[in-house]
Structure 1
Amino acid sequence: MTNQTRLFEAALGIKAPWYVQGVDFGTELTIAVDFVAGSRFAYPGVPGEHPVHDTVIKRLRHLNFFQFDCYLEVRVPRVRLPDGSVRLVEPEWMGKLDGFTLLFEALVLTLCREMTFAAVARLVNLSWYRVKAICDRYVNLAVAATDLSELTAVAIDETSCRRGHDYVSLVADMDARRVVFVTPGKDAGVVERFANHLEEHNATP
């Protein structure tokens, strides 16, 4: 291991059994990440640590180093579980959307709170669609994990989402002062969809 690889391991927060195998610095920075031979890995929901069956290479966009786009090329293990099935084990720093690290996704989410998708896309050198896909992924995860069992009072209002008569309706928790539901339209169907949303998230309409 060289001083260079140690430096990048520290910068990336990579810890055993993972290590930086090599660095390629051209028009972009590519960092090869591997794991120590003979390592065993845990898999969510299955007790113990399991042997590696084979590996796949994942290319992940990471935060820029200076002005250069940075990518991690990670040799990711697939482990064999006690029932004979083979499952991919993702490092904890791998993002929720295929092709990104968690830190890169966090950057995009932070920027999207202050800027348009198009502006963020230009800044991080991604397509508009990939920026939106990252945001969609985290919104969907947050909505799925929402518990509305303590909800007691709401406010409902609509707003036009573009020129013309395209509307979206928003429902806010009056106590927590946060939006808990968004849906197209402004008719009675809004209330019906919100009632269904409540049932899906531990609340009684």
Structure 2
Amino acid sequence: MHTERVTIEGTAFLTTLHLAGPIGLLALHGGVEGGTAELATEVAARTGATLLTFTQPEGPPTHIPSTRIGPCTPLTTFLTHTTLTISLHGHNRRSMPRTIYVGGSHRPAARILATALSVLPFTPITTLSAIPHPLRGLHPDNPVNQTRYGGVQLELPVQARTTHPVPTHPEVPPREVVEGIVAGVRTLMEREEARW
């Protein structure tokens, strides 16, 4: 596990990188989108996936869009090492408190993760036209799409990221969400070994 401080657009981040398997778990907005870094960390530990999280150790939380994060050494190393990325984000669509939007450029992988998450009290949506445009994760400058096979962007509501109604440190992701993503990542690893 390697930690490194980086500065992006004047905001200081602490990155945590652990190189392991070819599937990568990415949390670009840890702390700002509470629970995403903790969720990525737990899933990576249980599946042997590579991990990269960005958190903000001091100052007011600043949300920098994914398309503007990078290049920096930890992210470049992550993207070079992994073949497919699962990027965890948080949405605050109050009208959709139990909806998980499953975007990103790798649509077969998106459907695999959605299937693994479909047993939860949440509803995964993979149809791109049904996902709000800012949450689709399709832009080529988005790191989720910059590995060999592209990736999947999971936009999780608050209840799917943390078990606490008010922010805590660290956040505690819901057990059923952890189990669902773990199952999906394990299936993706099997597919990756077969080279899709």
**TM-score category, normalised to shorter length:** under 0.3
More strand by share: 1
TM-score of the pair, normalised by structure 1: 0.24
The structure number with the bigger radius of gyration is 1
Q: Normalization by structure 2: what TM-score?
A: 0.25
> Which has the larger share of helix?
2
